[in-house]
Structure 1
Amino acid sequence: MKKNLDLIKTLQQNYRTFSKGQKIIAEYIMENYDKAAFMTASKLGKSVNVSESTVVRFANTLGYEGYRDLQKELQDLIKNKLTTVQRISLNDDFSDRQNSLKKILKKDIESINKIIDEIDYDAFEKAADEIRKARIVYVLGLRSSSFLAEYLGFYLNFIIDNVKVVNLGPNDIFEQLMKVTDKDLVIVISYPRYSKRTLEALRYVKERNCDIISITDSLISPAAQISDITLAARNSMVSFVDSLVAPMSLINALIIATGFENEKDIIRKFGDLEDIWNKYNIYDKNNPNH
């Protein structure tokens, strides 16, 4: 069976070929896929009164190397559909307050480690090079991604001259992007639940032959399908919060990589800024770390 097929359709099409225990698992997943996506093999087995090994063998029957791969496929299918209320009710792993801190931090560490293991370094270097060469760099991120977009735009402004952060301000995002040309670059930050407005904007700039770099959760995300370069950093689903620690780390690395070629110019700019900060008492001079 092909893993790339819609999992629910795969279960429906092959239901008659399953053993009695596998049919029970398949029925539960089809009817409660939003809950099954966050269950361990042991917990899923207990819910349907079969053994953990039966659940693991079922995943193998579907063509997965293990249950964790099946679980990930389920999560990928639903993570863009889950409401905030559903996330709260499903993530009982974090109900234990004493251990929740460690669990949350470990999830973020795992997400950053995935970047280290899976990042396409050639694409990363090409992205930094495209940022340096672009006439104007537009940074687009809406809703929760807007914080990352503002952060990226803030620091890129110290490195290159023409950076514009596109946001939901007085002007519609299409008005802010109306002067985009094939000499410009759009950096989009897009995470589930994917903003429909963001994807519409990407299609608009693509029609104008503008190159697009996407920072998103996966190479198969909607934004990645429209982009020329994709940098993937997974977000962690932590109850009602989408943890964006991993993409923030990737953005930090991208900012630094972009600035490598312009070190002398950056030193000059920050020297000028230090003069301005001192002149107008921007920072507390009584603080030795200012």
Structure 2
Amino acid sequence: MDNRITFFDRVAKSKDKLTKKQLKLAEFIMRNYKTAVFLSSIELGEQVDTSEATVIRLANALGYLGYTDLIKDIQSYIKEEITTIDKLENLGNIYKDKSILDEVLKNNSLMIKSLKKYIRQDDIEKITEDMSKYKRIVIVGFESSAGLAEYIGYNLVRMAQNVEVVTHNYGNIFNLINNVDDRTFVIVISFPRYSNKVVKLARLFKNKDAKTFVVTDSEMSPLIKYGDYSITIPVHDNYISNLDVSVAVITLFQGIMLQYGAINYNQVKKKLKDLEEFNKDYEMFFINE
């Protein structure tokens, strides 16, 4: 954790100035902060038999702009330590009396719409043009980002000349590091909780002079300092797993791959033609006779 003033610090500093109700509420949050962040101000008040107004007054008494500001501060504090089990235990609270499918569709729709806030066409063009200059592309994703890395690699290998996907199933990491150099373009994908392996690899890639493109959740991510390029996709306030950001990451890379195809049209056309011939020769797909 960094040295910023946390919710816990604020409570300790203001403890003598809080009312009994505010102190009771603050103590409840401190004991249950991993679950409290998933509650609305009304729901939090109900947990200690107090009103929403008391919740808001507590936030103001601690120096926050409001309840949302308080919750965001705690979310920032726990983002790196909250476990998958913690998130799963809150699934029932988040989707209580709601249609899970409707909520997923709504959240995914909001996630895609919000991409315009974080991604500019100029950035896509700059990253893709630079990526086109490199002889080798390495895509890295561990833990819950591994599936995203595999998906991106599956599609990009049909367009670029030399693509390699590195996940927890990868074999000889030493050979990978040894062969990375200034002719390598590395794509690193990681969201909280950040894989320590990915952070270490990103540092090694940087030291080997590879050009690195980082996709993560915020400027506070430990990966940011290793990226020549970075795009941040904030996780949903109530996110349960990286499933919540996967739709945004896939959408981002759909744009990147289409841009890559436009820039490298002749190369991609030849690759796809060769692939079709391979599929035909080896009867890769079922044909209804």
TM-score by length of 2: 0.86
- Kept in 2, the 8 Å contact 1:206–1:226? The answer is yes
| 2:179 aligned counterpart, secondary structure | coil
Q: CA deviation at 1:213?
A: 0.9
Aligned to 2:15: 15
Distance 2:172 2:274 in 1: 34
Aligned to 1:282: 284
Q: Which moved more, 1:226-235 or 1:91-100?
A: 91-100
Amino acid at match of 1:175: N
Whether 2:279 is the aligned partner of 1:271: answer: no
| 2:139 aligned counterpart, secondary structure | strand
Q: CA deviation at 1:25?
A: 2.7
Q: CA deviation at 1:176?
A: 1.3
Compared CA separation, residues 13 and 256, structure 1 to 2 (3 A): farther
Per-residue CA deviations over 1:30-85 (Å, capped at 9, x if unaligned) read 22111111111101111123221232343344454442333233223223322333
Compared CA separation, residues 14 and 94, structure 1 to 2 (3 A): closer
- Kept in 1, the 8 Å contact 2:118–2:231? The answer is no
Amino acid at match of 1:231: I
Q: Structure 1: 5+ residue runs without aligned partners?
A: none
Q: How does 1:30-49 map to 2 (within 5 A)?
A: 30-49=30-49
Aligned to 2:28: 28
Compared CA separation, residues 150 and 12, structure 1 to 2 (3 A): same
Aligned to 1:258: 260
Compared CA separation, residues 120 and 66, structure 1 to 2 (3 A): farther
- Kept in 2, the 8 Å contact 1:187–1:213? The answer is yes
Compared CA separation, residues 272 and 241, structure 1 to 2 (3 A): closer
| 1:192 aligned counterpart, secondary structure | coil
Q: CA deviation at 1:196?
A: 0.7
Compared CA separation, residues 123 and 174, structure 1 to 2 (3 A): farther
- Kept in 2, the 8 Å contact 1:186–1:212? The answer is yes
Distance 1:94 1:9 in 2: 28
Amino acid at match of 2:248: A
Compared CA separation, residues 248 and 234, structure 1 to 2 (3 A): farther
Distance 1:85 1:103 in 2: 20
Aligned to 2:206: 206
Distance 1:36 1:96 in 2: 15
| 2:32 aligned counterpart, secondary structure | helix
Q: How does 1:171-250 map to 2 (within 5 A)?
A: 171-236=171-236, 239=240, 242-243=243-244, 244-250=246-252
Aligned to 1:138: 138
Distance 2:233 2:118 in 1: 9
Per-residue CA deviations over 1:80-106 (Å, capped at 9, x if unaligned) read 322333222222235658611111222
Q: CA deviation at 1:16?
A: 3.1
| 2:223 aligned counterpart, secondary structure | helix
Compared CA separation, residues 169 and 71, structure 1 to 2 (3 A): same
Q: How does 1:155-170 map to 2 (within 5 A)?
A: 155-169=155-169
Distance 2:133 2:59 in 1: 47
Q: CA deviation at 1:199?
A: 0.7
Distance 1:134 1:121 in 2: 21
Q: Structure 2: 5+ residue runs without aligned partners?
A: none
Q: Which moved more, 1:187-196 or 1:118-127?
A: 118-127
Aligned to 2:83: 83
Amino acid at match of 1:156: L
- Kept in 2, the 8 Å contact 1:235–1:246? The answer is no
- Kept in 2, the 8 Å contact 1:136–1:183? The answer is yes
Compared CA separation, residues 173 and 110, structure 1 to 2 (3 A): farther
TM-score by length of 1: 0.86
Aligned to 2:153: 153
| 1:285 aligned counterpart, secondary structure | coil
